Amino acid sequence: MKKDLHKDICEDSVFEQLYSKLANDLHNYLYYKYGEKLNPSDKAQEAFIKLWENCKKVTVSKAKSFLYTVANNLMLNEIKHQKVVLKYRAVRPKEHTNESPEFLMEKEEFFKKYQKVLSTLTDEQRTAFLLNKAEGKKHEEIAQMLGVTKKVVEYRIYSAFNVLKNELEGFRIK
């Protein structure tokens, strides 16, 4: 986005451009870093609301950094909240399904192993790996999003893939 010294974020057209440019990437970043259960869509929307509320204080050049910082903090607050909620409530599993018990067990076991191995990766490896393999982002795009070089992103993805390949039987990615 071009930096125009005479426009600020409070103008509808500028805010709309920022939203259309950054909303999807912000959501994907939160999704891959924290998962689906913490509602990354809601947190991304809340970050844009905070940006709108502080539009006079934030310049166009600092908007992306502001959004990512606010959204990340919102997710961390949600994690703290979920820890409190989980202390006081038991989660009930689904009562029924149409799939065979064997399939469900295999699926659940593989998913648990996959989640476990993903959790052993560093945040940087996991984020780069999921942005590349699940979202299909190019290494250059990920490098820009994370503020690192393309070589660093390539190394993180390669090392994450090796860990997954070594830990999970039959793990393959196209």
* Concatenated DSSP letters of 146-173: HTS-HHHHHHHHHHHHHHHHHHSTT---
> Above 70 in pLDDT, residue 104?
yes
Two tokens, residue 50: 């905070």
pLDDT digits (tens, 9 = 90+) for 123-174: 889 889 888 988 888 999 899 888 899 999 999 999 988 888 888 876 666 5
pTM of the model as a whole: 0.48
The pLDDT of residue 174: 55
Q: Pick from 116, 144, 118, 142: which is nearest to 131 by CA?
A: 142
For residue 4, pLDDT over 50 is answered with no
Q: How confident is the model at residue 114 (pLDDT cuts 50, 70, 90)?
A: confident
Q: If pLDDT is split at 50, 70 and 90, which confidence band does 6 have?
A: very low
Tens-place pLDDT, residues 38-77: 788 888 989 989 988 988 888 888 888 899 999 989 988 8
**pLDDT higher for 104 or 7?**
104
Angle at CA 50, nearest 5°, toward 83 and 77? 10
Q: Is residue 99 over pLDDT 80?
A: no
- Say yes or no to pLDDT of 25 above 50: yes
**Over 60: is that where the pLDDT of 28 sits?**
yes
Output the pLDDT for position 87: 73
Q: Which domains does the chain have, with CATH numbers?
A: 12-88 (no CATH), 101-167 (1.10.10.10)
